[in-house]
Amino acid sequence: MPNPSQCPACGAPNTCTLADPRTAAQPCWCFSVTIDPAVLEALPAELRNQACLCPRCAQVDEQLKLNNAHPAGD
Ligand SMILES: [Zn+2]
């Protein structure tokens, strides 16, 4: 059973808010980005939907930087 708080691809903390009961009510970083389906398909099937990728493996570092530079809220 993979650790839900670790990236299944590299083992780094995935900082998924849903994996931690203390932060589960907060939206995860993954809600604000678009993950390339090819990245998910590259994972072994048994690891998919078990744990979140870390932002780096999900290849969304750039999207997160942009979101931080322009916080949502219109
Ligand atoms: Zn990773």
Q: pLDDT tens across 39-59, in order? A: 999 988 888 888 889 999 999
Q: What is the pTM of this model?
A: 0.76
Residues of the chain with pLDDT > 90, as a percent, come to 46
The alpha carbons of the chain give a radius of gyration, in whole angstroms, of: 13
Q: Is 71 a residue whose pLDDT tops 70?
A: no
For residue 26, the SS3 value is: coil
Q: Which amino acid would we find at residue 72? A: A
d(CA 26, CA 43): 26
CA of 7 to the centre of ligand 1 (A): 5
CA of 9 to the centre of ligand 1 (A): 5
The CA-CA-CA angle for residues 72, 39, 20, to 5°, reads 55
For 38, the token pair is 């090819």
CA atoms within 13 A on the CB side of 39: 15
Question: Quick check: 30 and 58 in contact, CB under 8 A?
Answer: yes
Residue 4: the pLDDT is: 87
Q: Is 74 a residue whose pLDDT tops 80?
A: no
CA of 45 to the centre of ligand 1 (A): 16
CA of 6 to the centre of ligand 1 (A): 8
